Amino acid sequence: MQPSIYLALDVRSVEEARYFLENHHLEGVPVKVGMQLFYSEGHRIIDYLKRKHHPIFLDLKLHDIPNTVYEAMRQLALYEPSIVNIHAAGGSRMIEAAKEALIAENSQSQLLAVTQLTSTDETMLESELLIQKSMAETVQHYAHISQESGADGVVCSVHEVPLIKQYCGLDFKTLTPGIRLANGAHHDQTRVATPRKANEVGSDMIVVGRAVTQADEPKQIYQSIVKEWSYASANNS
Ligand SMILES: O=c1ccn([C@@H]2O[C@H](COP(=O)(O)O)[C@@H](O)[C@H]2O)c(=O)[nH]1
């Protein structure tokens, strides 16, 4: 079965990642490797995590001209991550190029497209990105072009999941970062929600970073998140 909770390993090195995972007994949990760790370590971190049997979401959010994304995605496919992603804002031709690259490498990786970052709010959408539509309309539109272009799903906030499921169908995956336990610090995120809410509205996967990595007792918080998610799952079925 596909993992549903990815731990964002936003640390600087393989050593730091290893220390965190081993010290807090999180061996084998599904992890998300983002720009910070991949840019500093490259294949070393992937090799390490694969050796330790961690399912990997390689969160590099490719966004470039179609040919560059095609060639870059072929390289990323060689790492055999469970999930890779791109920015939907790159447009349909770019998303298609990413998908074609995965097919060319016979990759099993799921391709997800980032709709609008969970740090973006309505004000920023309008005044900085000059997008005149609401967040819901924008995310729905990006999900639509992503689906039409061959993506397996999208990255969005929990708040847009019902709309996407209604519009794109239940099989179209939603992965939601911006996850916080009730009363947890939001940091730089604006569109946040609890693991329970994420599950209740039909999110397929969540990403949890600082709520765990910056906690005094990371393992305990991780377990609370798993428990909330599982509790909601049991009550949804
Ligand atoms: O819209 C997005 C897309 C990706 N992310 C990534 O998820 C984690 C979230 O970390 P927290 O510490 O739980 O806030 C982080 O690595 C982001 O790069 C996102 O937050 N929003």
Residues 101-130 have pLDDT tens digits of 999 999 999 999 999 999 999 999 999 999
- Cβ proximity of 90 and 62 under 8 Å: yes
Tell me what pLDDT residue 233 has.
79
User: Is 219 an annotated catalytic residue?
Assistant: no
| 1 burial via Cβ count (<10 Å: 0-12, 13-18, 19+) | exposed
Confidence of residue 27 (pLDDT cuts 50, 70, 90): very high
Tell me the Ramachandran region of residue 40: left when phi exceeds 0, alpha when psi lies from -120 to 50, beta otherwise.
Answer: alpha
| Rounded distance from Cα 178 to ligand 1 centre (Å) | 6
Contacts of 103 (CB under 8 A, 6+ apart): none
Query: Which residue, judged by its Cα, is nearest atom 6 of ligand 1?
Result: 177
Averaged pLDDT of the chain: 97
Tell me what pLDDT residue 235 has.
79
State the closest ligand 1 atom to the C-alpha of 188, by its place in the atom list counted from 1.
14
What confidence tens digit (pLDDT) does each residue in 133-192 have?
A: 999 999 999 999 999 999 999 999 999 999 999 999 999 999 999 999 999 999 999 999
Burial of 160-187, coded b for 16+ CB within 10 Å and e otherwise, reads bbebbbeebeeebbbbbbbbbbeebeee
Query: Which residue, judged by its Cα, is nearest atom 16 of ligand 1?
Result: 8
Average pLDDT on 32-54 reads 98
What confidence tens digit (pLDDT) does each residue in 202-231 have?
A: 999 999 999 999 999 999 999 999 999 988
Average pLDDT on 36-63 reads 98
Lowest-pLDDT range of 1-10, 46-55, 77-86: 1-10
Is 236 or 31 the better-scoring residue by pLDDT? 31
Structure tokens at 32: 């998300």
Tell me what pLDDT residue 206 has.
98
d(CA 230, CA 50): 26
Q: Is the pLDDT of residue 232 over 80?
A: no
Contacts of 230 (CB under 8 A, 6+ apart): none
Does residue 207 line the site of ligand 1, with CB under 6 A? yes
Confidence of residue 237 (pLDDT cuts 50, 70, 90): low
Triad 23, 226, 118: Cα angle to 5°: 95
- Cβ proximity of 67 and 96 under 8 Å: no
Q: 10 a known binding residue?
A: yes
Q: Is the pLDDT of residue 70 over 80?
A: yes
d(CA 56, CA 29): 9
Query: Which residue, judged by its Cα, is nearest atom 2 of ligand 1?
Result: 117
This model of the complex carries an ipTM of 0.99
Tell me what pLDDT residue 44 has.
98
Q: 3 a known binding residue?
A: no
- The pTM of the whole model exceeds 0.90: yes
Tell me what pLDDT residue 1 has.
79
